Structure 1
Amino acid sequence: MSPTSWGQEGFMTDTGSSARLRKRWCGPLLALLLGATPLLAGAQQEQAPTERAESEAKVDPQAQRILRQMSDFLAEQREFSVRTEGTLDQLLDSGQKIQLQRAGDVRLQRPNRLRVDRAGDLAKLHLFYDGQRLTVHGEQANAYATTPAPSTLDATLDMASQRLGLDAPGGDLLVSNPYTALTEDVRSGKYLGRAKVNGVPVHHLAFRNRDGVDWELWVEDGPRPLPLKYVITSRDLPGAPQYSVTLSEWNLSPQLTPDQFQFTPPRDAVRVSFLAPDSQGGAQQQGGSK
């Protein structure tokens, strides 16, 4: 794989002009990951951004309650693994919209370890973050890119988005404060009622952001309010492309070990460089960044 092609095959992940839901991903996910702290001087005279957004947004109380329960429950988990299966719409230069499929496994250990193994229509990728380095390996090309990373997952996701142009649809669910990441730009939210995902009873929530993004969550009904399905629609892009993922096989006690997050280059693997976001031109528009 040539260095210039790496950006197209990248992260857990998809590259593109959209940032993430979180505020685009820096916002909610990474921004949130970063957990930027407002200046104390201004805090006494002005509401914090999240508080202000909540007061202005028209969110159904039941939707807000369930979203917060889910977010708090996720944040409490020190480690977990989950299976993902999803689709991502891609707009070709001709205006035609096609759907790409991918499935993967995510392993997370707070505060600073992440492993993603993902196979899809275009690539088979592995992401490693061990608290010191972020590495992405493309199995088909047997090429990898690696870079020093911050000491927390939140900050690393933010760095990946801002500096490397690598955005992970759904990444808002991985950060230390999912609620803040998810609601940063929310304009409205509704509770749509009960439904089922793969036979499991769930609550169906729908939200609309100010930045041209609609998103839905299906949250398990019961003592484990886990997200079982997540759909993001980029309504401001031609064709309103979507990213959809179902999450299953949640394991909240996976007994993860440090070596699972460390990358050892396979034999004959070629090291390449990450591309800066502004050098990844020519990519088709994709849905999915919140």
Structure 2
Amino acid sequence: MEIVNSVNEITKPFLNAVVTVGNFDGVHLGHQMLFKKVIERAQDIGGTSVVFTFDPHPVEVLKGIHVPVITPLPRKMELIASKGIEVAICQPFTLKFAQITAEEFVKDILMQKIGMKEIIAGYDYSFGKGREGNLELLKKWGDELGFKVHVVGPIKVNGVVVSSTKVRELIQEGKVEKVRKFLGRYYQVTGKVIRGRDRGGRLLGIPTANLALVNEVFPKLGVYAVEVIYQGKKYQGAANIGFSPTFGNNALSVETHILDFNQDIYGEEIKINFVKKLRDERKFSRVEELVTQIKKDIETARKILSQFSIA
């Protein structure tokens, strides 16, 4: 997949571009349906499948509100590429860009710069300065300017509309099994293994990989059965997200015990897939009680993961 870091980098329009536009945080089932339609239409007209997305999240720029992302940009690009899209344009979202009117966005960027012949839009799509553009206006311009508009309806899971907001909410509630149904895959966080407080191996006798936190949504505090991916190989694990209340800490940490693993991976990148929540975070009166509980968690995780079809 070709990645274009700004519309200013485009030197000539793409051949018969079929475009979809959005933030696409999470690349959930709804987004995936849009991409599928883009690819189908591009194949039908001998054109180029194009995804136009933004970074950072527009809400951060327009309202100054921090939005922890479901998929950091590298992961989002990886997922979009995996769906078969040919070109991803990742436009830096700035206050200047936010001032572009709906008409300018369609005529100057989508048509002139990108070469759009068709656009695939979600049922709730809006665009341009102040979100002044809507589907009705888009269809009107399509008729006038000669491009086709295809609208994709909402995707539902058990009667609930799939959305980035809903996915984020489920993650924060620790409902990682439900999240998988909305994403079509396990929720994953990625990061480098850092040196923690050296309690796992030294004090508790249970070594853990401590993850450096990035701008991602993290599941509710507690213990989870997880899958750990290191250098392309998958391992079972048990992860704790929390503040280590037994030791009176205030710093949030993600500590993962990787089952049947003894390599030194400090400074290395790992991926963690959240499979199932085991329990909430608890404070223990004695370290020995904590160790006993962690060992139980590890065995519970082992049993659960052996039953799941890890993917």
Determine if the TM-score, normalized by the shorter chain, exceeds 0.5: no
Which of the pair has more CA radius of gyration?
2
TM range (shorter): under 0.3
Q: Which has the higher helix share?
A: 2
Question: Normalising to structure 1: TM-score of the pair?
Answer: 0.27
Question: Normalising to structure 2: TM-score of the pair?
Answer: 0.26
